[in-house]
């Protein structure tokens, strides 16, 4: 239904909605406070736009997902995930390609938690709101915490959301996230990471994606890989 509604929405309306929805200016004070008092040390391994030349797979059925899910799975492989890895798949979604991604994670490792703010009847899912501090048993617990293209959608200070995500990563573990731009508070993250987002030759957007969805031509997509120290 969501995809059907988006297909019918004029691009100019979508641009207005995304610009309005993605505004973080109203959270600037809270973001700056979180930035100044960030409690954890970490290393940024990658912080980049996704290039059109990156590996993609049409099986994921969405202009950005055809890149995002293969990228996350490739990063997990590169970072050495295995059957004993503990994984928290946050904001996992509840249908379509999200279930497919959940299944692929669970085929690889036994210890996967799939959480979302919305309850689901799908097996091995739980309710968790990333605007809240994680429960004590999840703190410093996971080898990998994942967030695929939802961090920027949460109407809450993005630096605080990032802090809540990283709090669940065990020292030496990794946070892997993808995000739409505009959407993510890029200025705040460049300040937090102490580096600019890496430029690429041809940024993927809804217009030039092999799975073209022209109504998202104004959106580009990026990713981050962060190791907790």
pLDDT band at 68 (very low <50, low <70, confident <90, very high): very high
Q: At the top level of CATH, which class does the domain 2-228 belong to?
A: alpha beta
> Rounded to whole angstroms, how far apart are CA atoms 87 and 146?
8
Phi and psi angles of residue 150, each rounded to the nearest 5 degrees, phi first: -130, -20
Residues 94 and 124: beta-carbon distance below 8 Å: no
**Length of the chain in residues, anyone?**
229
Structure tokens at 124: 């091995």
pLDDT digits (tens, 9 = 90+) for 151-190: 999 999 999 999 999 999 999 999 999 999 999 999 999 9
Residues 29 and 181: beta-carbon distance below 8 Å: no
Q: What is the CA radius of gyration of the chain?
A: 17
Note the pTM of the prediction, 2 decimals.
Answer: 0.90
């Amino acid at each position: 239904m969501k995809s059907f509604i988006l297909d019918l929405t004029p691009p100019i309306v979508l641009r207005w909605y995304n610009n309005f929805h993605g505004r973080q200016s109203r959270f600037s004070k809270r973001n700056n406070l979180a930035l100044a008092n960030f409690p954890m040390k970490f290393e940024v391994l990658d912080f980049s736009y996704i290039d059109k030349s990156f590996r993609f797979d049409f099986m994921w059925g969405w202009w950005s997902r055809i890149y995002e899910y293969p990228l996350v799975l490739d990063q997990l492989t590169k970072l050495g995930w295995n059957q004993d890895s503990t994984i928290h798949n946050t904001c996992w979604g509840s249908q379509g390609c999200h279930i497919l991604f959940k299944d692929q994670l669970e085929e690889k490792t036994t210890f996967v938690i799939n959480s979302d703010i919305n309850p689901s009847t799908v097996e091995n899912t739980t309710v968790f709101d990333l605007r809240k501090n994680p429960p004590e048993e999840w703190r410093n617990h996971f080898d990998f915490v994942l967030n695929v293209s939802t961090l920027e959608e949460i109407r809450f200070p993005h630096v605080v959301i990032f802090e809540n995500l990283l709090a669940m990563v065990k020292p030496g573990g990794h946070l892997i996230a993808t995000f739409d731009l505009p959407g993510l508070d890029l200025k705040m993250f460049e300040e937090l990471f102490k580096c600019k987002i890496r430029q690429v030759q041809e940024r993927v957007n809804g217009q030039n994606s092999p799975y073209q969805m022209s109504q998202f031509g104004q959106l580009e997509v990026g990713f981050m890989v962060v190791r907790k120290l």
